[in-house]
């Protein structure tokens, strides 16, 4: 493998082609009856793809891959936040949800047009590191405002328990073990997400992005 600090544009193109090929191979293994077409999945599955019309760019943010910092950067790029504004972690996510335009907000025709013509970017992270970080940050740490919101929203889903039966307060305090967490992540892929085909998003590693940009 070519050392990352000597990888030129041609080398990066080869890396991207290899990553996209592997991603296509994995996606092709998902039960086709469960995978919806781009047209059918846009409205309810592309809420993580931010639309920056000014730059003709689609940015797909991924939780636990510097997600908060990327949202802050996008808010600044769109003039929705100042460079020196002191905004809390939770407020960044709230602002992003309310202010950042996503493909989910567009009708199918407009969304497909952007998918076909805009540049697309997504950063990924070594998966073991990512889900360890997620568990320790959201489910292992003592309760704070961020983990409280996460536990209320996901504890019952991860445990496979009816949220109404569990109750909102119990969902916050409920002990989701690491085994519970990885068992949930190990569910058939089409139960957690239905990947639309042929989007062709460049996959840039979080660990090596300084050489890929």
pTM assigned to the model: 0.70
The pLDDT assigned to 96 comes to: 93
- 178 Cβ partners below 8 Å, 6+ apart? 135, 140
Residue-level pLDDT, tens digit, the chain, 213 residues: 444 556 777 887 888 788 778 877 876 776 555 545 566 565 667 888 999 999 999 998 888 888 899 999 999 989 999 988 888 888 999 999 999 999 888 888 898 899 889 988 888 888 888 889 889 888 887 777 777 777 877 787 787 776 566 555 555 566 788 888 888 887 665 454 544 444 555 555 555 555 555
């Amino acid at each position: 493998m070519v050392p990352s600090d000597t990888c030129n544009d041609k080398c990066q193109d080869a890396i991207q082609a290899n990553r996209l090929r592997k991603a296509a191979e994995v996606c092709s293994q998902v039960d086709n009856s469960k995978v919806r077409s781009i047209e059918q999945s846009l409205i309810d599955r592309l809420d993580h793809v931010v639309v920056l019309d000014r730059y003709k760019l689609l940015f797909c943010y991924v939780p636990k891959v510097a997600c908060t910092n990327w949202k802050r950067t996008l808010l600044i790029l769109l003039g929705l936040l100042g460079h020196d504004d002191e905004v809390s972690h939770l407020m960044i996510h709230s602002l992003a949800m309310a202010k950042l335009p996503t493909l989910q907000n567009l009708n199918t025709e407009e969304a497909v047009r952007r998918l076909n013509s805009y540049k697309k970017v997504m950063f990924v992270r070594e998966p073991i590191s990512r889900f360890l970080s997620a568990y320790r940050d959201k489910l292992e740490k003592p309760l704070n405002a961020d983990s409280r919101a996460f536990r209320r929203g996901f504890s019952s889903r991860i445990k496979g328990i009816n949220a109404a039966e569990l109750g909102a307060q119990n969902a916050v305090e409920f002990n989701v073990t690491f085994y519970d967490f990885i068992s949930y992540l190990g569910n058939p892929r089409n139960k957690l997400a239905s990947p639309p085909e042929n989007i062709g998003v460049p996959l840039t590693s979080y660990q090596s992005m300084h050489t890929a940009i």
